[in-house]
Amino acid sequence: MNKNKEQLLNKRYKAEQRFRLYGLSAIFMAFLFLTIFIFKIFSTGYSAFQKTWLIVPVTFDAELMMLDQNPSKEDLQDADYYDIALKSMADLDPNANEDQENELKRMVSYFFEKEIKNELLNDPNLIGKTKEVYLTASDDLDQVFKGNYPRDLPEDQRRVSDYQLKIFDQLVANGKVESKFNISFFTNADSREAELAGIASSFMGSIFSILVCLMIAFPVAVLAAIYLEEFAPKNRFTDFIEVNINNLAAVPSIVFGLLGLGVLLAIFQLPRSTPLVGGITLSLMTLPTIIIAARASLKAVPPSIREAALAMGASRMQTTMHHTVPLSMPGTLSGTIIGLAQALGETAPLILIGMVAFVNTIPGSPMDPAASLPVQIYIWAESAERGFVEKVSACIMVLLGFLIIMNLFAQIIRHKFEKKWS
Amino acid sequence: MNLILFTFIVLLGFTSYYFGRKKAYTIQSTKKRLTALPQFYGYYLAIWCAIPAFIIFSLWAIFEPTIVKLLILSDYSNQGYLDDELNLLYEKSKALSRGQFTGEITPFIEASAEKYLSLRSIAQSSKVVIVLSAIIASVAYAYKRISSNSRTREPVEKFLNAVLFTASLAAILTTVGIVFSLIFQTIDFFKVIPLFDFVFGTHWYPAKAFVRDSSEALDPTMYSDTFGAVPIFAGTFFIAFIAMCVAIPIGLMSGIYLAEYASTKVRQYAKPLIEILAGIPTVVYGFFAALTVGPFLKELGTSMGLEVSAESALAAGGVMGIMIIPFISSLSDDVITSVPQSLRDGSYAMGATKSETIKRVIFPAALPGIVGSILLGVSRAIGETMIVVMASGLAANLTLNPLESTSTITAQIVVILIGDQAFGDPKTQAAFALGMSLFLVTLCLNIVALRVVKKYREKYE
């Protein structure tokens, strides 16, 4: 009998341990996912911050460029650089036939003549001389150099030919291939060529959308929260508003995209693909988040503050505006920043209002067509070229960086400025 | 032009504030008692400046285009044009006046373009004159009226209250906007496609409904068997089900562990770390699912002799489940911590172990709240877009095999609406109809979930 009891007790303790283990492993799983996730993004993305350059000797032959003696600045602008650019690439292999010359040309980026042109514009004395110029390598060779490209595939499945690889290996052996920090990733707009594509246009698009979103959502949300928390009578109508707010906070974001499409674009005829429309759509989405945060932080201001102000003869409006609202600001601001961080990562509604258009210029105002960082991730992730994979990861790293900074900022505001009432 | 006028009005507002306050000081200097602080006199005047400006601006924005259009089209009124043709003429002359017209320029259109420009400039200048004179008149009137015993604080505060109230209507307006933008397109859609076909049809193939000209658009036979949404709904719930299979055990168990077992220190660090998962943008999850999880599952399946699609429902659902973990763990953690300590103490006193207490006492007590959090998670899974668009299939496929690809409501909306849309095309309307069903389903889930959670909170408060 006693033995039986002990067995039962042991069984119960074992069950206890098992249960504890389940909980621990659940948390462990969640961490594991997070780690795999971050590791994967970093390991595919870090190489995008490096860019491969070929160092190619270019002869600035005045005749080939159709330049007269003593050319002016305009002449240099209008000169023909394509021929010398082609020639300098063809000269890499003196025995090349016509097909091979074509392949040589495709070893550098599509706009390589522009790079040669800039070299001459910076130093007009180069005419007639030969100089080693840094040319952006094509995205496939860039991937080969970074070791992301399987060289052992059969040739017809590769986008780099055996001949190109041979010349490239010669260049590497001669030290004519160099890897440098990829500035153009941050300064270039989007491009069809992976080696030239950058995040500048989508970054500006994101900034403009977030600014528009902040300018609309913040004032409206704060005013609404003040009304609901401090002035609203308790009746059916205000209950209805509350139910609305709580529901909107849980409506799928794509529905807001349909709202933007059906109302902002179709009825108000606002310009498509612009951060203005994107920002308005996002502001409707963040509105409930900010209202809820602002109300919570207004509620946290102790009633004694209000009573003291009222006792001194302040009106209700004065009490609210001079005492309650300033005291609630830290909480409201950190809620706003968290709401904006959410909006910054949002993709689906922006796709619906047309912010997926290919934009190869950097937008200068919220009225210009633009993409945004998450949409850029989507666009690149959908392209087939191998060179875009690392760009996507790099873009994700930039986006996550911004989100982390915003969230830290929200934490700092909350901990530094919020008064603790006890 | 509008910007300059706006700045000017703002400046006028500041000036009237200054004058209002100054008048209050003058009254004060005559030893009379003021009924409000001097700045309220200023605010009072500034409001008298803002209101007429706002009213005239909005009236102008509403009526100016219509009146200009009427005036221009009155030239054509007797020439037997149809309404559509008149509209086209108007749009053409508008485009020409902006220098964006590319078609053939007829003298008629040129004349109306010129007329359009002159009318616009007349409208602009009369707007400036009317706004400025209205402001000056109203401010001057108010300035005259304020005296030592006039009330200024009350009207100012009433005005502020009205502003606050209007702001709080924004939430209602957004909901109205959502319903409004969805409902008309949906109704139009069901005029062409019978509701029955949509809800019970099993073939979803919207690409077939591509029409070149509008005469075809009204031929319903063409759309039979094109817009049957069953595969889409099934796919949506299937992927959401897979996601919940991942999210519920992990989320719930980590919520329980954090609430009942973890020390304060562990909790302090573990909770925000798990919540990072909720802060990662969904497009990033989509990329992860498409690039890593999908191919990994495919390889794994091939090595076991299974045929796995690279865009399997399992990959999308699994990654979506990871995304939902923090929603469930945080909410259930909150719910469990708010179970009163007395229940635990009672159970321990009877000799129950911790896990028995959790399973037999705390879990049943917290069940409504946990159900609420799970429902919110389901609503998220159904409305999630980017993961499905990037990692799951884009073609509808009625299947219950998690290794095949399926499509969801959200993915179909994106597929249909990406790029240019023609309103009035049943394909576009189908996207709105899908959006409407999505909105209704998530709305029901949210209302039920929020109500359950609220009831639960009230029980233990």
- CA dihedral (A66, A71, A72, A77) positive or negative: positive
Across the interface, whether the CB atoms of A378 and B390 are under 8 A apart is answered: yes
B432 in contact with A, Cβ within 8 Å: yes
Half-sphere exposure of A216 (CA within 13 A, CB side): 20
User: How does pLDDT run along chain A (422 residues), one tens digit per residue?
Assistant: 577 888 999 999 999 999 999 999 999 999 999 999 899 888 888 888 888 888 888 888 777 777 777 777 777 777 778 888 888 888 888 887 888 888 888 888 877 888 888 888 888 777 778 888 888 888 888 888 887 777 777 777 777 888 888 888 888 888 888 888 888 888 888 888 888 888 999 999 999 999 999 999 999 999 999 999 999 888 899 888 988 898 898 899 999 999 999 888 888 888 888 999 999 999 999 999 999 999 999 999 999 999 999 999 999 999 999 999 999 999 999 999 999 999 999 999 999 988 887 888 888 888 888 889 999 999 998 887 777 888 899 999 999 999 999 999 998 998 888 777 76
Closest CA to B190 of B432, B456, B449, B444: B432
Contacts by B149-153, CB closer than 8 A, 24 or more apart: B149/B35, B150/B35, B151/B35, B151/B36, B152/B20, B152/B35, B152/B36, B152/B40, B152/B41, B152/B43, B152/B44, B153/A315, B153/B35, B153/B36, B153/B37, B153/B40
Of residues B274, B356, B410, nearest to A252 (C-beta): B410
pLDDT value of position B223: 64
Across the interface, whether the CB atoms of B281 and A347 are under 8 A apart is answered: yes
Residues of B in contact with A288 (CB under 8 A): 171
Q: What does the alpha-carbon distance between residue A27 and residue B277 come to, in Å, rounded to a whole number?
A: 12
Distance of residue A8 Cα from the nearest chain B Cα, in angstroms? 13
pLDDT value of position A148: 78
Q: What single string gives the DSSP state of each residue in B298-362? A: HHHHHHTT----TT-HHHHHHHHHHHHHHHHHHHHHHHHHTS-HHHHHHHHHTT--HHHHIIIII
Distance of residue B439 Cα from the nearest chain A Cα, in angstroms? 7
Across the interface, whether the CB atoms of A23 and B253 are under 8 A apart is answered: yes
Q: Which residue of B has its CA nearest to A282?
A: B174
Closest CA to A273 of A263, A261, A259: A261
Nearby residues of B207 by Cβ (< 8 Å), 6 or more positions away: none
Closest CA to B147 of B27, B22, B49, B25: B27
Q: What does the alpha-carbon distance between residue B430 and residue B106 come to, in Å, rounded to a whole number?
A: 40
In chain A, where does the domain assigned CATH 1.10.3720.10 lie?
200-417
The helix (H) or strand (E) run that includes residue A134 is strand A130-136
Across the interface, whether the CB atoms of A266 and B257 are under 8 A apart is answered: no
Distance of residue B362 Cα from the nearest chain A Cα, in angstroms? 14
pLDDT value of position A217: 95
Of residues A27, A250, A374, nearest to B442 (C-beta): A250
pLDDT value of position B26: 86
| Confidence category of residue B211, pLDDT binned at 50, 70, 90 | low
The residue type found at B50 is A
pTM of the complete model: 0.87
Q: Is the pLDDT assigned to residue B50 strictly greater than 90?
A: no
Of residues B164, B257, B281, nearest to A23 (C-beta): B257
Q: Which residue of A has its CA nearest to B287?
A: A381
The residue type found at B390 is M
Q: What does the alpha-carbon distance between residue A397 and residue A182 come to, in Å, rounded to a whole number?
A: 15
Of residues B169, B376, B418, nearest to A250 (C-beta): B376
* C-alpha to C-alpha distances, B62 to A270, B1, B55, B65, B68, nearest whole angstrom: 15, 18, 11, 7, 11
The residue type found at A213 is C
Nearby residues of B212 by Cβ (< 8 Å), 6 or more positions away: none
Of residues A246, A262, A381, nearest to B290 (C-beta): A381
What b/e readout covers B331-354, taking b as 16+ CB neighbours within 10 angstroms? bbbbbbebbeeebbeebeeeebbb
Q: How far apart are the first and last CA of chain B?
A: 58
B181 in contact with A, Cβ within 8 Å: yes
Closest CA to A277 of A188, A372, A200, A396: A372
The Cα diameter of chain B in Å comes to 99
Q: What single string gives the DSSP state of each residue in A47-78? A: GGGEEEEEEEEEE--TTTTT--SS--HHHHHH
Q: What does the alpha-carbon distance between residue A112 and residue A91 come to, in Å, rounded to a whole number?
A: 15
pLDDT value of position A301: 92
State the average pLDDT over residues B315-338: 92
pLDDT tens-digit readout, B138-189: 888 888 887 767 788 888 899 999 999 999 998 899 999 999 889 988 998 8
pLDDT value of position A118: 83
- Phi and psi for B127 in degrees, rounded to 5? -60, -45
pLDDT tens-digit readout, B77-102: 667 677 777 777 777 777 777 776 66
Q: What does the alpha-carbon distance between residue A167 and residue A146 come to, in Å, rounded to a whole number?
A: 17
Across the interface, whether the CB atoms of B277 and A34 are under 8 A apart is answered: yes
Across the interface, whether the CB atoms of A258 and B181 are under 8 A apart is answered: yes
pLDDT value of position B6: 84
pLDDT value of position B221: 61
Across the interface, whether the CB atoms of B281 and A378 are under 8 A apart is answered: no
Q: Which two tokens stand for residue B13?
A: 């507002």
pLDDT tens-digit readout, B238-284: 999 999 999 999 999 999 999 999 999 998 888 888 988 888 999 99
pLDDT value of position A105: 80
Distance of residue A180 Cα from the nearest chain B Cα, in angstroms? 27
pLDDT tens-digit readout, B411-447: 999 988 887 666 777 788 888 999 999 999 999 998 8
Q: For residues A256 and A349, is the Cβ–Cβ distance under 8 A?
A: yes
Domains in chain B (CATH in brackets) are: 2-168 (no CATH), 230-460 (1.10.3720.10)
Give the rounded distance of the alpha carbon of B419 from its chain centre: 20
Q: Which residue of B has its CA nearest to A397?
A: B284
- Rg of chain A over Cα atoms, rounded to whole angstroms, equals 30
Residues of B in contact with A34 (CB under 8 A): 273-274, 276-277
| Confidence category of residue B73, pLDDT binned at 50, 70, 90 | confident
- Average predicted confidence (pLDDT) for chain B: 85
What residue spans of B30-106 are helical by DSSP H?
A: 38-73, 83-97
pLDDT value of position A94: 80
pLDDT value of position B222: 62
Q: Is the pLDDT assigned to residue B384 strictly greater than 60?
A: yes
Distance of residue A83 Cα from the nearest chain B Cα, in angstroms? 37
What b/e readout covers A77-89, taking b as 16+ CB neighbours within 10 angstroms? eebebeebbbebb
Q: What does the alpha-carbon distance between residue A83 and residue A64 come to, in Å, rounded to a whole number?
A: 6
B269 in contact with A, Cβ within 8 Å: no
Half-sphere exposure of B245 (CA within 13 A, CB side): 13
pLDDT value of position B219: 56
Of residues A220, A243, A250, nearest to B379 (C-beta): A250
B272 in contact with A, Cβ within 8 Å: no
Distance of residue B254 Cα from the nearest chain A Cα, in angstroms? 5
Q: For residues B228 and B201, is the Cβ–Cβ distance under 8 A?
A: yes
Residues of B in contact with A284 (CB under 8 A): 174, 177
Q: Is the pLDDT assigned to residue B48 strictly greater than 90?
A: no
Across the interface, whether the CB atoms of B292 and A40 are under 8 A apart is answered: yes
Q: What does the alpha-carbon distance between residue B249 and residue B247 come to, in Å, rounded to a whole number?
A: 6
Q: ipTM score here?
A: 0.89
Q: What does the alpha-carbon distance between residue A56 and residue A105 come to, in Å, rounded to a whole number?
A: 12
Of residues B163, B253, B353, nearest to A12 (C-beta): B353
Q: CB atoms < 10 A from the CB of B35, how many? A: 18
- Phi and psi for B424 in degrees, rounded to 5? 95, -5
Q: What does the alpha-carbon distance between residue A317 and residue B154 come to, in Å, rounded to a whole number?
A: 10
pLDDT value of position B420: 67
Q: Which residue of B has its CA nearest to A28?
A: B254
Q: Which residues pair with A52 in a beta bridge?
A: A179
A vs B: CB pairs below 8 A: 256
The residue type found at B49 is C
B75 in contact with A, Cβ within 8 Å: no
State the average pLDDT over residues B402-414: 87
pLDDT value of position B387: 92
CATH number of A200-417: 1.10.3720.10
Q: Is the pLDDT assigned to residue B325 strictly greater than 80?
A: yes
* C-alpha to C-alpha distances, A397 to A46, A147, A409, nearest whole angstrom: 9, 21, 18
